[in-house]
Amino acid sequence: MSNHIKLPQSKNPLFKLLYISLLIILTVSAVIYIQNEINSEKRVLKNELQAIARLKIDDISEWYNDQLHDTKLLSEGKLRKFYFKRWLEKKLSEDSLDICYNLLINKKLHSLQNILLADTNGNILLSAVPDSAQTDVVFRQKIKECAMKRQVISSDLYSCKVHRQIHIDFMSPVYDDNQNILAVLVCRVSPDSFLYPVLSKWPVPCKSSETLIARADGDSVVFLNRLRFNEDAALKIKFPLSNTNLPAVRALRGQTGMFEGKDYRGVKVIAYLAQIPGTSWVMVAKTDRKELYNDVYHELALLIVLFAVLFGFIVFTGLFIMKSRQAGIYRKLYTTQGEFKATLYSIGDAVMVVNKDGFIEIMNPEAERLTGYSEQEAIDRQLPEIFRIISEDTRQEVENPIDRVKREGSVVGLANHTLLISRDGNEIPIADSGAPVKDESGNITGTILVFRDQTDERRLQKAIEESEEKYRSLFESTNDGICLHEIVYNEQGEAVNYRILNVNRKYEELLNLKASEVVGKLATEAYQTNEPPYFETYLKVARTADPYHFETFFEPLNKYFSISVFCPAPDRFATAFQDITIRKQAELALKESEELLKTTIYSIGDGVIITDEKGIVTRLNEEAARLTGYSEKEARHKHLRTVFRIINEENRQEVESPFDKVIREGTVVGLANHTLLISRAGKEIPIADSGAPIKDENGNILGVVLVFRDQTKERLAQKMIDIRLRLFEYAAHHNVEETCTKMLDETVNLVDSNIGFYHFVAEDEQHLQLQAWSTQTKEKFCKAEGSGLHYNINEAGVWVDCIRERRAIIHNDYQSLPNKKGMPEGHAEVIRELVVPVFRNNKIVAVLGVGNKAADYTQNDLEIVEYMADVLYEVVYQKRMAELLSENEERFSKAFHGSPLPGAMIDMQNMQFVDVNDALLNALNMKKEAIIGFNVKDVPFLNLSDQVKEQHFRHFEELRQKGYSLNFPFVIESKDHGMSREFIMFSSLLQAGGKKLVLSYMVDITEKRKMEKELREKLDELQRWYSVTVGRESRNIELKKEVNELLTKLGQPPKYKEI
């Protein structure tokens, strides 16, 4: 073929200069092209890595901030703090159950691994799910840090030695109303729930790409997540910070953006480095350099070979041109098969040489591989037989390139989307060109066909197109509204506004604004505000390139938004936002729901056991643990029948399990009366309970909740009431000492004691009157005398501390007390004692004490003894009052019936005689039966005139108004005995036996009236004698003496003292 090549010759220096310049230009062009290709691939990779990293950073940052926000929100619930404070103070089991139930609800609501409440030293107080009481040292350190800083913090990712898992804990202090820290609320998150899945995903197919996060650990860098080529790397693989060739080290040193180095495998990678805002983490998004440049290197290798071939061809051609312009050189070169093949075989593309008749003369190995024919098989065969090409779009055969070369006489290329059909039928996308081989006269003597396999190029191009489509789809289909902006400056170079460049469909939906209405407009114009919304925040992000996230209320739209801002290019920023109005409203509704739920739950003070649908215990509260004797850990996984054993109190037979009844009936059921719970220790506890099914939304029973309460106190209260009634009945037939002893016997039995005593306290509260001891005390334990003894309190021992301190006292270790004064001879030894004072009108009136119980006295014992002491005092007081009343009545009866004055008692209501004394009967000379029961106005033996009856009426009215009446005169005439006597009556009101009685004493003035009449007659006579018998002194003196004597008898002083 040497005769087909036309070699120019020139001895002109200008030609040589042009020739050398051409070589230089060709070489420089090749270098520039190669560098541009590499830079282009780098830019594509950078954009891809940056976009992926930014999306993941935004997701992680938002997730991290949401966890902090949710933890703070959970710690600030007012009702939760109130009940938790109450639980800390009183340790009520119902409070702990309800707090844990609430924590469990929030755990499920926020998809947490666990929610804990810990004290400021890191000790776990409560847990949403059962957990070990042990805590990791990292956990305890972070708890103390949270309490010291008094703010929400996170523990960062750490490997928990207790659970042998990786946790990240978000912690927030729980304050009381005075801002004192009650505890620390911990929201425990598993990185497998969100963080690791986000990091492990890669949006496009790849063999080596991955994202990883790391943090500094002393002088090392530690990887925090599972790595693509090392699943067990999290928190285990470390590298020194001095290894600056490691992308993670560069990121921790503050470098951001693109970086080329070696990863943890020692493999060269291209990475994008960035900080994760709000954390100590850095993110590295990387791809193996080999994978990235694999296709590029292949293409560039072909180009380099072509350039090398072309360069060599020009060099050789130039040398031959400069040496000789003889046409024979070309034919010699063409026919020198060895040299020519060596050149063709060194080319990376497929090359075929066809003569002017279309027969193949040469074919290099790459052409052999693509066509499927060896060179020996192809030589001297027509090109279309070996080189079959069709259009990828139409599937029609494409014009043979040699035909076009012959027709056009110049270099030609194949159309795009051309497929080569290989010998075995494979379709290979190719790009090719054909060049004519001409002789000295310019005649075409053959054709050189060069083509290459575009499979890898197509794959790369398709991946790029798919990636662009994916990101465009993501941009349009994401649930976030996305908007791209650029900062707008005024003439002075000051940032004054921002312009909207692009928005997605979600933006239009959330803001109810069309893209056509806002794209290209300034923010103030698009949103119709005086100032561009959140301008300072956006400007800072655009200038610093630091991403930012915040939540805000946008007043023009009356909505809440969660907004993430990042900088994709200088002076530009993009916002991704969500409408969180519904979430904000839901948070408020959830708060209200929690408050209502808490109010309902905290009203439960009983034992609670929860089982699954098979009756296996899954949970029980502290009260249930106390009653059954099983802790929650011991009861879990046991059947309810094992933990909750119940029998009938009357027949001692087992009672049907409430679980079985609930499962059978599918509704709330209750236990029968007289049910006893047999605790683990064999103690029998009277209970009342109910069971209810736990159902799902379809009505299927998922388990049973059993609520029951200890009726011991109720039974005890009823027993104490019965004792009180019996005691009152007993007191009616026994004296005070017997009554006290009986009451003390009942009291010591109630509190399982051996000693009991009851003493009265004097009004000055300085002296005691020893009153009574229980029967067992007197018979077995105490022989000391003392009943009725008056005792100075200052001389008493520690048992009268209840009087000194004016409160009940318990001495459970009597022998260790410092102020004991010893016991009198014969007194029982005291081991422990309980003594309570009895108050009336804020004064201590008595004390009741018990002692020597086998176990320590409790608050329950104290309440029982206080009640019995008060009842005993009331009984004794009433007994004493009854005895005193009886004594008074007896004394009154003696005084009334023994009075020398006639007396009567009359019922104020019916005016009937109730009683009369002997003096009245003697005065009237009558028997009692003739008077008792008769009305005062209608006494048959009295002859009362209407005037006297009217006087009686006024007398009783005066009694009703004043309570007494004096000097009421009246005359009683006896029809049966024909006598009449005159009285003066003195009356007063009495209250006796629930009736108002009139007590009247009468003075018989019949004789007095006679003497007064006689006195008047004597005085009249004296006056007459004085007027008619002047000088008859002797008679006057006698009359004066008689008058003085009468006056003396009447109890009056003598009138005539001169006698």
Residues 6+ apart with CB under 8 A from 783: 826, 827
Give the residue-averaged pLDDT of 128-140. 78
DSSP 521: S
pLDDT, the chain, mean: 80
Taking the C-alpha atoms of residue 73 and residue 64, their distance in angstroms, rounded to an integer, is 14
pLDDT at 9: 43
Q: Specify whether the CB–CB gap between 176 and 81 falls below 8 A.
A: yes
Tokens describing residue 316: 């050789």
Higher pLDDT, 190 or 17: 190
Residue 263, phi then psi, degrees to nearest 5: -85, -165
Q: Of 901-905, 1031-1035, 1051-1055, give the range with the top mean pLDDT.
A: 901-905
**Which band of pLDDT confidence, cut at 50, 70 and 90, is reported for residue 8?**
very low
pLDDT of 162 above 60: yes
Tokens describing residue 21: 């310049």
**Which band of pLDDT confidence, cut at 50, 70 and 90, is reported for residue 499?**
very high
Residues facing 562 on adjacent strands: 551, 578
Higher pLDDT, 94 or 265: 265
CA dihedral sign, ordered 971, 976, 979, 983: negative
| Residue 257 CA from chain centroid, whole number | 42
Taking the C-alpha atoms of residue 400 and residue 388, their distance in angstroms, rounded to an integer, is 9
Residue 779 burial class via C-beta count within 10 angstroms: exposed 0-12, middle 13-18, buried 19 and up? exposed
pLDDT at 132: 63
**Which band of pLDDT confidence, cut at 50, 70 and 90, is reported for residue 870?**
confident
Give the residue-averaged pLDDT of 680-697. 87
Q: What does the pLDDT look like over 761-790, one tens digit per residue?
A: 888 888 877 668 888 877 776 655 555 556
**Which band of pLDDT confidence, cut at 50, 70 and 90, is reported for residue 173?**
very high
pLDDT at 449: 86
pLDDT at 988: 77
- Between 115-119, 264-268, 807-811, 877-881, the lowest mean confidence (pLDDT) is in 877-881
Fold of 336-457: Beta-Lactamase (3.30.450)
pLDDT of 1020 above 80: no
Q: How many residues are present in the chain?
A: 1059
Taking the C-alpha atoms of residue 539 and residue 546, their distance in angstroms, rounded to an integer, is 11
Taking the C-alpha atoms of residue 982 and residue 911, their distance in angstroms, rounded to an integer, is 21
pLDDT at 274: 92
Give the residue-averaged pLDDT of 88-108. 71
Fold of 478-584: Beta-Lactamase (3.30.450)
SS (H, E, C) 452-466: EECHHHHHHHHHHHH
Tokens describing residue 519: 């794209």
Q: What does the pLDDT look like over 697-721, one tens digit per residue?
A: 788 988 898 888 888 887 777 777 7
Give the residue-averaged pLDDT of 400-405. 81
CA nearest to 707, candidates 631, 623, 635: 623
Taking the C-alpha atoms of residue 450 and residue 306, their distance in angstroms, rounded to an integer, is 10
> Class for domain 898-1004, per CATH?
alpha beta
pLDDT at 781: 64
The region that residue 362 occupies, defined by phi over 0 for left and psi between -120 and 50 for alpha, beta otherwise, is: beta
**Which band of pLDDT confidence, cut at 50, 70 and 90, is reported for residue 216?**
very high
pLDDT at 2: 37
Give the residue-averaged pLDDT of 564-569. 89
Percent of the chain with pLDDT over 70: 81
Collapsing DSSP states into helix, strand and coil, what is residue 964?
A: strand
Q: Which CATH number does the domain 196-292 belong to among 3.40.190, 3.30.450, 3.40.50, 3.30.1360?
A: 3.30.450
pLDDT at 603: 57
| Residue 927 CA from chain centroid, whole number | 90
pLDDT at 565: 93
pLDDT of 198 above 70: yes
**Which band of pLDDT confidence, cut at 50, 70 and 90, is reported for residue 496?**
very high
Q: Specify whether the CB–CB gap between 310 and 29 falls below 8 A.
A: no
pLDDT of 327 above 50: no
The region that residue 518 occupies, defined by phi over 0 for left and psi between -120 and 50 for alpha, beta otherwise, is: alpha
- Scanning 380-514, the segments in alpha helix (DSSP H) are 383-386, 401-408, 455-477, 505-511
- Between 662-671, 834-843, 918-927, the lowest mean confidence (pLDDT) is in 918-927
- End-to-end CA gap in the chain: 204
CA nearest to 382, candidates 367, 395, 400, 369: 400
What are the residue ranges spanned by the domains of the chain? 196-292, 336-457, 478-584, 605-708, 716-886, 898-1004, 1010-1049
716-886: CATH superfamily:
GAF domain (3.30.450.40)
Taking the C-alpha atoms of residue 134 and residue 127, their distance in angstroms, rounded to an integer, is 12
Taking the C-alpha atoms of residue 776 and residue 788, their distance in angstroms, rounded to an integer, is 19
pLDDT of 330 above 50: no
Q: Specify whether the CB–CB gap between 54 and 541 falls below 8 A.
A: no
pLDDT of 43 above 50: yes
From residue 230, alpha-carbon distances to 224, 264, 475, 715 in Å are 12, 10, 33, 68
From residue 479, alpha-carbon distances to 469, 475, 576, 622 in Å are 17, 9, 9, 46
pLDDT of 573 above 90: yes
CA dihedral sign, ordered 789, 792, 794, 800: positive
> Class for domain 605-708, per CATH?
alpha beta
Taking the C-alpha atoms of residue 772 and residue 777, their distance in angstroms, rounded to an integer, is 10
pLDDT at 5: 38
Taking the C-alpha atoms of residue 286 and residue 211, their distance in angstroms, rounded to an integer, is 6
pLDDT at 11: 46
Q: What does the pLDDT look like over 625-645, one tens digit per residue?
A: 989 999 989 998 999 999 999
SS (H, E, C) 355-390: ECCCEEEEECHHHHHHHCCCHHHHCCCEHHHHCEEE
Give the residue-averaged pLDDT of 901-915. 82
Give the residue-averaged pLDDT of 663-688. 86
CA dihedral sign, ordered 440, 443, 447, 448: positive
Give the residue-averaged pLDDT of 975-981. 56
**Which band of pLDDT confidence, cut at 50, 70 and 90, is reported for residue 597?**
very low
**Which band of pLDDT confidence, cut at 50, 70 and 90, is reported for residue 96?**
low
pLDDT at 13: 62
Distinct helix (H) and strand (E) counts, the chain:
32, 41
pLDDT of 831 above 50: yes
DSSP run (H or E) holding 318: helix 289-323
pLDDT of 874 above 60: yes
pLDDT of 463 above 80: no
Higher pLDDT, 847 or 1014: 847
Q: What does the pLDDT look like over 477-493, one tens digit per residue?
A: 677 888 999 999 998 88
Taking the C-alpha atoms of residue 589 and residue 597, their distance in angstroms, rounded to an integer, is 12
Collapsing DSSP states into helix, strand and coil, what is residue 756?
A: strand
Tokens describing residue 277: 């805002």
Q: Of 49-58, 249-258, 597-606, 1047-1056, give the range with the top mean pLDDT.
A: 249-258
pLDDT of 272 above 50: yes
Q: Do domains 196-292 and 716-886 have the same CATH topology?
A: yes
**Which band of pLDDT confidence, cut at 50, 70 and 90, is reported for residue 537?**
very high
pLDDT of 458 above 60: yes
